[in-house]
A and B are shown apart, each in its own frame.
Chain A
C-alpha cells in the first residue's frame, strides 16, 4: 500500500487510520518498528513535515535517513531522480518523499517495491496533512460527517487544500470556499464536488460565514501569487482572523479554528489562547496520524 493522494484513499481506509491514530494517542495499542528504517527524501525544503515524520517514526522505535534538498544528494552530481530513488529503495523499508514536481510520489511508487508516502508534490497533494486534519476534526467534533467547513485563503495553489477537499468530500460535509477571486479553487474541482453531490458555497468574505460553520480552516496567502505589492496589501488584511472578530461573533459551541502552519499573519497571535484555536494541537495530531500511517504501511498492526 502507498499513500499518494486523497483521491485514491477510500473512506474505510481513512476511518481505520483515524481509529489507529486515536489508539496510538491514547496508548491503547503497542506498536514497535525498531527493526525498520525509513528514508525521508525531501527534494524541496521542509521543516515541520520532515520533523513530524521523523518524530512519528522514532516514537514507534524506528529509524530514519533524512535527505533535505537535492543539493546534498547525488542528484546534484547528475544522477537521475529515478536512479536516486531506486538506489535508496534498496536500503530502506519505506520512502517518504516531498518534491516540487507534481506526480513525483506516484512515479516513485511505480519504480520501487516498498511503500511510498507522499509528503507533498508541488501544488497537487499532501495526503498526510489531510489525514491529520480529518483526525483533528473527528477528535474535536466527534465526527467528520455532515460538518460545515469553511476553507479560507489560497484555494488555488495550496496542496493542503486539494487534499483536504477530496478527503472531506467522502464525509458528506458542506463546504464554504472563501478566497480572493483569482485564488479560487480550480473550476474542475467544483465540477467534481457537484458530481459527488457535495454542497458548497463560494465567496470572498470571512465574517459572513464565521457563525455558520463548525470548522474554519485558514491557509496562507502568499505574496508571490499577486501581480504586485498593492494587490497583495489590499487583500491580505481582509483574510486575517483577529481576536476581536472572533469575540464579536456568536460562534457555534464547538467552533474549531485550524491552520496547516506555517502561519504568517492570517491569524493574529492573540487568538492563540482562545479555546477555538486548534492549530498547534493539529500539528501534534500530525505525529499520531503519521505514526498510524507508518505502522499501517509497514505492516506493524
Chain B
C-alpha cells in the first residue's frame, strides 16, 4: 500500500510541486483562514524536481485570482481540486495581468507604504517578471522579490 507522508483529504485543494521551502510563503499569499484545516509537507522527495513542498487545504476551493497570486513563488506548482478523495479538476498557474493587494511596493515613498491601501501592480513582462506599481509608477524586477521575500 502506498505510504502517504501527508494525509489525503476528502474534499478541498492540493497544491503540489511547490519549490522546497516556499510553502510558508504560499500560505502567506493565500491568506489561510483560522478555520481552514491545512496539511503541510516540506522538503518531500519528488521524482520530477528532487524536493518539493505540498499543501492540502480541506474544504476550500481557490479562485483563479488566488491561484494566480502564488505564481510569483511557485510557478510550476500544480493545483488539484479533490472531491471524495479523488482529484476531479486540475488548474494551471498563470501570472495574472494585475496583482492586487498581495505584494508590498519596494518604494518606501510610495503612497501604498504610507496609507492603508492595497497595492496594485500591472505586470509589464512575465519572463523575467517586471511589474509597474500603479501608484508610484516605478517598474520593479528583482527588488520586488527581495522586498517581499519571494
Contact = CB atoms under 8 A, between A and B. Distances in A.
A100 B134 CA distance: 17
Contacts of B139: 188
Contact of A82 (B112, B115, B136): B115
A5 B132 CA distance: 14
Nearest to B130: A188
Given A82-B115, A101-B114, A188-B139, A106 B109 contact: no
Contact of A81 (B109, B115, B130): B115
Contacts of A148: none
Contacts of B138: 102, 124, 186, 188
B110 interface: yes
B55 interface: no
| Chain A: interface size category | 10 to 19
Interface in A89-122: 100-104, 106-107, 121-122
B133 interface: yes
Nearest to B112: A103
Contacts of B110: 101-103
Contact of B111 (A7, A80, A104, A188): A104
B107 interface: yes
Given A5-B137, A122-B136, A125-B137, A106 B111 contact: yes
Contact of A106 (B107, B114, B130, B135): B135
Interface string B126-150: 0000100111111100000000000
B115 A102 contact: no
Contacts of A124: 136-138
Contact of B134 (A101, A106, A121, A122): A106
A123 interface: yes
Nearest to A123: B109
A261 to B, nearest CB: 23
B117 interface: yes
B32 to A, nearest CB: 29
Contacts of B111: 101-104, 106-107, 121
**Residue with the greatest number of chain B CB neighbours at <10 A, chosen from A103, A107, A125:** A103
A7 B130 CA distance: 17
A103 B112 CA distance: 8
Nearest to B113: A101
Interface string B99-132: 0000000010111101101000000000000100
Contacts of B117: 107
Interface in A248-299: none
Contacts of A104: 111
B107 A102 contact: yes
**Residue with the greatest number of chain A CB neighbours at <10 A, chosen from B111, B115, B139:** B111
Contacts of A123: 109
Contacts of A5: 137
Interface string B60-95: 000000000000000000000000000000000000
Nearest to B140: A188
**Residue with the greatest number of chain A CB neighbours at <10 A, chosen from B109, B130, B137, B138:** B137
Nearest to B136: A102
Contact of B109 (A80, A122, A186): A122
Interface of A: 5, 7, 80-82, 100-104, 106-107, 121-125, 186, 188
Interface of B: 107, 109-112, 114-115, 117, 130, 133-139
Given A101-B110, A101-B114, A102-B135, 4 more contacts: A81-B114, A101-B115, A102-B137, A122-B109
26 contacts: A7-B137, A80-B115, A81-B115, A82-B115, A101-B109, A101-B114, A101-B115, A102-B110, A102-B111, A102-B135, A102-B137, A103-B111, A103-B112, A103-B135, A106-B111, A107-B115, A107-B135, A121-B111, A121-B136, A122-B109, A122-B136, A124-B136, A124-B138, A186-B138, A188-B130, A188-B138
